[in-house]
């Protein structure tokens, strides 16, 4: 993959680096050679990224040509967004406070050259900011808040190559050389791959949707169909433009970096699982209750409760009944109430966090069905049995920590009742064409849909027990087919 440094005037970047071509912005924008170039990494070091400026168009057209620009247009927009800057300040708060603890003034400016700062004590902060805002040269402004007694990120802006202070120039050149060496190593590693897949996960997550062994199998399956695979963490937000597809294997939430990753990836044109619309729809039980009722999909008797009607659950549902936070998941945010007194305690407490909550009749069963759906096709079928002497699959303590869980039994989809699979497919088709886990209770010969989960569990030895490696391959073939369709390439083997 060809590496280009694009500047307004090549004299702004006089350094010669092996296998890196310095080109003027004008040439990059109008020359047929660059317009027809099949693959390139474009480092945009123009003086300004202002909307519709030359620098803006370099990144915009690079994306249109299938090149990989740094910064991309989404990063350019993020640099202007005070909301994104506040989120970054909050996420990096511990690192910011540690890095700037010895600063005596009320304001501080940090220069970032390819993820590094001239002062080693600020290098970690520079590295994390570069991962969030992937522009080659950055300047971050911090202010000390007397009210909050801490440092806050106030601004972050690109630096033009000719604006590097003279005393920093040698260091910036050295960091550029190191970065491009790494870039060439990455290019070499990916040379045999047709496309790039990012898998977002959190190694420290207590109950991740996929175990380490499952993630390894996803990685191997992806490589076998032509992807180069990188595993990303929450600090790698700025790297998304490097990839063609994003697979989120971390518990999702709207108020969480997973949703921000999904939104950013979708805006960049990546194939995304879970897509942001699926996250929005599946993580809100109020939406699902309304949707399923409207489309006449059988569910337990359900009420949407608010501050003015929660007492009616006593007569309309009886006891015991189930209360759910709209964004509950993995048995968390779900409580069983046995009496008026418990209802009077639990409902107002949940309504302090959400203006609407869900109440459902209690349906005791020995197990819940989980049907995995991907690309509008059934992928796996499991029975999740209740934890011993408990009414849920997972038994937790008062703080929400898992104490124990029930067994699981996986079976071929074709051995499941047809009505069950038909219901799961109908429900998921109302959401989208992503990856979903449909939870269903069976009472006699009748099925009642409990919820649709985005980002369902796929664990080694459980959900893959029937299909084994074929499950991972099926999913990666869909990723490959979708990326290929977006890129307009040929058929995949």
CATH of the domain at 410: 3.30.470.20
Sequence-separated (6 or more) residues with CB below 8 Å from residue 168: 111, 113, 118
Residue 247 belongs to a domain: yes
Regarding whether 377 and 352 lie in a shared domain, the answer is no
Last residue of a domain, one of 76, 91, 117: 76
Residue 290 belongs to a domain: no
Q: Please give the residue range of the domain that contains residue 323.
A: 301-361
pLDDT at 47: 86
Regarding whether 452 and 381 lie in a shared domain, the answer is yes
Please choose, from the candidates 125, 119, 156, 126, the residue with its C-alpha nearest in 3D space to the C-alpha of residue 141: 156
Q: Is the dihedral of CA 281, 283, 289, 292 positive or negative?
A: positive
Residue 251 belongs to a domain: yes
Give the separation between CA 159 and CA 112, rounded to whole angstroms: 9
- Which residue bears the tokens 């304001």? 107
Q: What is the DSSP letter of 417?
A: -
Regarding whether 371 and 352 lie in a shared domain, the answer is no
What's the CATH number where 336 sits? Answer: 3.30.1490.20
Regarding whether 33 and 115 lie in a shared domain, the answer is no
pLDDT at 395: 87
Regarding whether 101 and 63 lie in a shared domain, the answer is no
331: left (phi over 0), alpha (psi -120 to 50) or beta: left
Regarding whether 116 and 62 lie in a shared domain, the answer is no
pLDDT at 115: 93
Strands (E), 134-252: 137-145, 150-158, 195-200, 227-232, 245-248
Q: 71: cis peptide before it, omega within 30°?
A: yes
Give the separation between CA 406 and CA 273, rounded to whole angstroms: 28
What's the CATH number where 217 sits? Answer: 3.40.50.20
Question: What pTM did the predictor assign?
Answer: 0.75
- Here the tokens at position 207 are 């109950």
Residue 288 belongs to a domain: no
Residue 138 belongs to a domain: yes
Last residue of a domain, one of 310, 337, 361: 361
pLDDT at 14: 63
pLDDT at 188: 47
Whole-Å CA distances, 87 to 112, 132, 133, 327, 403: 19, 10, 12, 21, 33
Residue 177 belongs to a domain: no
Last residue of a domain, one of 361, 395, 430: 361
Regarding whether 210 and 129 lie in a shared domain, the answer is no
Regarding whether 223 and 203 lie in a shared domain, the answer is yes
Cβ burial, residue 188 (10 Å; 0-12/13-18/19+): exposed
Residue 172 belongs to a domain: no
pLDDT at 183: 58
For the chain, what is the domain count? 5
Regarding whether 345 and 381 lie in a shared domain, the answer is no
- Here the tokens at position 228 are 């180069």
pLDDT at 192: 61
Give the separation between CA 93 and CA 79, rounded to whole angstroms: 18
Regarding whether 100 and 62 lie in a shared domain, the answer is no
Residue pLDDT tens, the chain, 493 long: 788 999 998 887 766 677 789 999 999 999 999 998 988 889 998 888 888 889 999 999 998 888 888 898 888 888 888 888 988 898 899 999 999 999 999 999 999 999 999 999 999 999 999 988 889 899 999 999 999 899 999 999 998 877 888 899 889 888 988 888 765 445 444 556 889 999 999 999 999 999 999 999 999 999 999 999 999 999 888 888 889 999 999 999 888 899 999 998 998 889 999 999 999 999 888 899 999 999 999 999 999 999 999 999 999 999 999 998 887 665 567 899 999 999 999 999 999 988 888 899 999 999 999 999 999 999 999 999 999 989 888 888 877 788 899 999 999 999 999 999 999 999 999 999 999 999 999 999 999 999 999 999 999 999 999 999 999 999 999 999 999 998 875 444 3
pLDDT digits (tens, 9 = 90+) for 363-419: 999 999 999 999 999 999 999 999 998 988 888 887 778 889 999 999 999 999 999
Residue 463 belongs to a domain: yes
Regarding whether 64 and 128 lie in a shared domain, the answer is no
Give the separation between CA 46 and CA 55, rounded to whole angstroms: 5
| CB neighbour burial string for 249-259, b if at least 16 within 10 angstroms, e if fewer | bbbbeeebbbb
Q: Is the dihedral of CA 220, 222, 223, 229 positive or negative?
A: negative
């Amino acid at each position: 993959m060809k590496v280009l440094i694009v500047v307004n005037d090549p004299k702004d970047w006089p350094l010669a680096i092996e296998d890196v071509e310095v080109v003027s912005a004008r040439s990059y924008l109008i020359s047929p050679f660059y317009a027809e170039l099949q693959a390139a990494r474009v480092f945009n070091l123009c003086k300004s990224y202002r909307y519709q400026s030359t620098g803006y168009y370099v990144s915009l057209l690079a994306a249109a040509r299938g090149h990989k620009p740094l910064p991309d247009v989404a990063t350019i927009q993020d640099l202007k967004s005070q909301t994104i800057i506040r989120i970054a300040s909050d996420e990096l708060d511990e690192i910011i406070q540690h890095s700037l603890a010895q600063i005596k003034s009320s304001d501080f400016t940090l220069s970032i050259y390819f993820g590094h700062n001239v002062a080693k004590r600020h290098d970690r902060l520079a590295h994390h900011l570069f991962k969030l805002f992937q522009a080659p040269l950055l300047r971050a402004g911090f202010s000390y808040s007397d009210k909050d007694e801490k440092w806050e990120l106030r601004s972050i802006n690109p630096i033009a190559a000719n604006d590097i202070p003279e005393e920093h120039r040698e260091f910036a050149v050295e960091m550029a050389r190191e970065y491009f060496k790494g870039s060439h190593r990455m290019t070499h590693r990916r040379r045999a791959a047709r496309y790039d897949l990012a898998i977002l996960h959190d190694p420290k997550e207590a109950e991740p949707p996929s175990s380490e062994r499952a993630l390894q199998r996803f990685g191997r399956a992806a490589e076998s169909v032509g992807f180069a695979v990188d595993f990303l963490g929450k600090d790698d937000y700025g790297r998304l433009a490097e990839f063609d597809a994003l697979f989120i294997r971390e518990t999702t939430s709207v108020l969480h970096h997973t949703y921000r990753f999904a939104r950013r990836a979708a805006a960049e044109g990546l194939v995304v699982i879970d897509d942001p619309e699926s996250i929005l729809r599946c993580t809100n039980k109020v939406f699902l209750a309304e949707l399923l009722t409207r489309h006449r999909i059988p569910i337990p008797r359900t009420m949407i409760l608010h501050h003015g009607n929660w007492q009616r659950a006593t007569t309309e549902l009886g006891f015991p009944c189930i209360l759910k936070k709209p964004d509950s998941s993995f048995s968390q945010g779900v409580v069983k109430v046995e009496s008026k007194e418990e209802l009077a305690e639990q409902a107002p407490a949940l309504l302090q966090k959400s203006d609407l909550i869900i109440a459902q009749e209690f349906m005791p069963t020995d197990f819940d069905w989980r049907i995995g759906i991907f690309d509008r096709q059934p992928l796996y079928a499991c029975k999740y049995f209740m934890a011993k002497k408990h009414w849920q699959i997972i038994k937790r303590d008062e703080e929400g920590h898992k104490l124990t869980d029930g067994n699981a039994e996986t079976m071929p989809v074709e051995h499941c009742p047809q009505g069950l699979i038909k219901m799961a497919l109908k429900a998921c088709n109302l959401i989208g064409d992503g990856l979903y886990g449909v939870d269903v209770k069976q009472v006699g010969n009748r099925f009642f849909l409990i919820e649709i989960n985005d980002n369902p569990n796929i664990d080694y030895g459980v959900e893959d027990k029937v299909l084994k490696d074929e499950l991972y391959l099926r999913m990666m073939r869909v990723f490959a087919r979708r990326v290929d369709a977006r890129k307009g390439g040929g058929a995949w083997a």
